Amino acid sequence: MKRVILIYILLCFAGLASAQPDRTHAPEPGKAKKLELGNYDTFKLDNGLTVILVQNHKLPTVSFSLQLDYDPVLEGAKSGTASLAGSLLRSGTVNRTKQEIDEAVDFIGATLNTSSSGIYAAGLKKHTDELLDVMTDILYHPVFPVKEFEKQKKQTLSALKLNSTDAGTIAATVANVLRFGKDHPYGEPVTEETIGQVTLDGVKSFYHTYFRPNVAYLIMIGDLTADESRKLAQTYFSSWEQATVPSHAYPDPKPISGVRVAVVDKPGAVQSVVKITWPLKLKPGDPEEIPAKMMNNILGGGVFSGRLMMNLREDKAYTYGATSGLHSDRLIGYFEAGAQVAKAVTDSAITQFFYEIRRMRDEPVSPEDLQLNKNVIAGQFARSLENPQTVASFALNTIRYHLPQDYYATYLEKMDRVTVPDIQQSARKYLHPDSCIVLVVGDRQALAGKLKQFATGGTVEFYDRYGNPVNFKK
């Protein structure tokens, strides 16, 4: 009897052992599934306004985001007009002064902001009518007071002066100028001179031209039903008059020939802001967008897991952070990699940037790196779906960019199909280390000689903080 029991126990242990998973290797990742995204409703008013509703009944709150979708506007000598028009919308209406608007919004504990791209308002559901009454009063009846106009101009000039020594702001401005050119709306800077030429008539003209329902989306999020949203949209926005909105087209920026090295002088600076950048053609929803952005994520978009961060921060200790971004746009996108580094290692940091960019082109990534990247993106994507703002953003993108209805529901499936060769193919198509701009904001006298090695032809270009060429006397 004892022998039978012993044999039984041994067989049980053998069975348990065989049932245990093999922990000497990581488990194979599961196949990506089609996601069930949050539902949204969409409809259109007779005046052309497209309405998107994302219901969220967890809290008794609502938000209304009115977003304009007109072509980018080249403002030229009066650059800054659109920005001033947007900020001035909240400065008074036919029915309310600025102070009365502020008091009405504060009294109901709400938020209301305006910009050149629209109006955003949020608050408790029980105050919906009061909130929309103020919001549409601003939309329909702005008066653009002269006193507030002059005040906004002064504040803008003060902000420009305040940012005149900020290396990060300077680098962002000059990078846009060099990437796109001043004859492109993405490249024209706002300066003291252009703000000085902005007129009140120009501000009003911008508002009357571009604030039209037929180029707008109204996104409602919160504790609303479909019937409630339709009633609110009809009540408050159906009287908004549509009109023809000008369309604009611009040529692509001129191709970059070789490597251009540009320096903005910041005398005595102990650190340098470095950017390596170029424009690129990649539209939202393009079949190549997902592998291209996954490629960039491995390079420097994954922040702490990115190769640039591991190299320049963890290995070389050149910087606190080195990142890259690959930006799609229906007009023209761009790539940019950058960091803030000590003056003494500026040239060494640029060398490492080029090393990692070229490595992405020349060497296939490992299957393990690709899978890690997929896992990180999948986790971030899944977490983002907990936010109703994400669902609203997906709905808006689907309509605005004419994406397939299941584009985001099948996003992880499309991502899971990306292969190692796809990553290298994207790197070779979208990374251009031999045709790019190397921009450095830092101490010219300490850096210029060291940076010649990177420039095709050995010439370093110099610019002021608005991207205007500068000739320094020897």
Cα distances from 333 to residues 188, 336, 369, in angstroms, run 16, 10, 26
Contact yes or no for 428/280 (Cβ under 8 A)? no
Please determine, for residue 37, whether its predicted confidence score (pLDDT) is greater than 80: no
Summarised one tens digit per residue, pLDDT across range 230-240 is 999 999 999 99
3-class DSSP state of 440: strand
Q: Give residue 301's pLDDT.
A: 87
Q: Dmax over Cα atoms in the chain, in whole Å?
A: 104
Summarised one tens digit per residue, pLDDT across range 336-359 is 999 999 999 999 999 999 999 999
> What pTM value is reported for the model?
0.89
Q: Give residue 34's pLDDT.
A: 58
DSSP secondary structure, 64-126, as one string: EEEEE-PPP---GGGTTHHHHHHHHGGGBBSS-BHHHHHHHHHHTT-EEEEETTEEEEEEEGG
Please determine, for residue 326, whether its predicted confidence score (pLDDT) is greater than 70: yes
Sign, CA torsion 351/354/360/361: negative
Q: Which of 22-31, 202-211, 260-269, 430-439 has the lowest mean pLDDT?
A: 22-31
Q: Give residue 472's pLDDT.
A: 79
User: What does the domain layout of the chain look like in residue ranges?
Assistant: 41-237, 259-463
Distance CA 301, CA 175 (A): 19
**Nearest partner of 163 among 185, 192, 184, judged by Cα:** 192
Q: Give residue 291's pLDDT.
A: 97
Give the N- to C-terminal CA distance of the chain in Å, as an integer: 104
In angstroms and rounded to an integer, the radius of gyration of the C-alpha atoms of the chain is 27
Burial of 15 (0-12, 13-18, 19+ CB in 10 A): exposed
Higher pLDDT: 474 or 444? It is 444
pLDDT (mean) for 139-156: 97
Q: Give residue 19's pLDDT.
A: 43
Q: Give residue 305's pLDDT.
A: 80
Summarised one tens digit per residue, pLDDT across range 18-29 is 444 454 544 455
Please determine, for residue 11, whether its predicted confidence score (pLDDT) is greater than 50: no
Tell me the percentage of the chain whose pLDDT exceeds 90. 87
Summarised one tens digit per residue, pLDDT across range 409-427 is 999 999 999 999 999 999 9
- Asked if 41-237 and 259-463 have one fold, the answer is yes
Q: Give residue 304's pLDDT.
A: 75
Please determine, for residue 102, whether its predicted confidence score (pLDDT) is greater than 60: yes
Contacts (Cβ under 8 Å, ≥6 apart) of 93: 101, 137, 138, 140, 141, 142, 143
Tell me the percentage of the chain whose pLDDT exceeds 70. 91
Residue 149, Cβ neighbours under 10 Å: how many?
Answer: 20
pLDDT (mean) for 106-118: 97
Burial of 16 (0-12, 13-18, 19+ CB in 10 A): exposed
DSSP secondary structure, 223-292, as one string: S--HHHHHHHHHHHHTTPPP--------PPPPPP-SEEEEEEE-TT-SEEEEEEEEEE---TT-TTHHHH
Distance CA 222, CA 358 (A): 47
Domain at 259-463, CATH from 3.30.830.10, 1.10.1060.10, 1.10.10.10, 2.40.128.130: 3.30.830.10
The confidence band for 473, taking pLDDT boundaries of 50, 70 and 90, is low
Higher pLDDT: 31 or 211? It is 211
Distance CA 321, CA 340 (A): 7
3-state helix, strand, coil in the chain (%, to 5): 50, 20, 35
Higher pLDDT: 231 or 17? It is 231
The confidence band for 39, taking pLDDT boundaries of 50, 70 and 90, is confident
**Nearest partner of 259 among 329, 156, 351, judged by Cα:** 351
Please determine, for residue 474, whether its predicted confidence score (pLDDT) is greater than 70: no
Please determine, for residue 241, whether its predicted confidence score (pLDDT) is greater than 50: yes
Q: Give residue 7's pLDDT.
A: 41
Mean pLDDT computed over every residue of the chain: 92
The confidence band for 50, taking pLDDT boundaries of 50, 70 and 90, is very high
Contact yes or no for 67/119 (Cβ under 8 A)? no
Contact yes or no for 86/198 (Cβ under 8 A)? no
Please determine, for residue 272, whether its predicted confidence score (pLDDT) is greater than 60: yes
Higher pLDDT: 289 or 19? It is 289
Give the up-direction half-sphere exposure of residue 83: CA atoms within 13 A in the CB hemisphere.
17
Please determine, for residue 14, whether its predicted confidence score (pLDDT) is greater than 50: no
Torsion region of 45: left, alpha or beta (phi above 0 gives left; psi -120 to 50 gives alpha): beta
The CATH number that domain 41-237 falls under is 3.30.830.10
Sign, CA torsion 127/130/136/139: negative
Q: Give residue 36's pLDDT.
A: 64
Q: Give residue 9's pLDDT.
A: 39
Higher pLDDT: 262 or 37? It is 262
Contacts (Cβ under 8 Å, ≥6 apart) of 226: 41, 53, 55
Residue 434, Cβ neighbours under 10 Å: how many?
Answer: 13
Burial of 399 (0-12, 13-18, 19+ CB in 10 A): middle
**120: phi then psi, degrees, rounded to nearest 5:** -125, 135
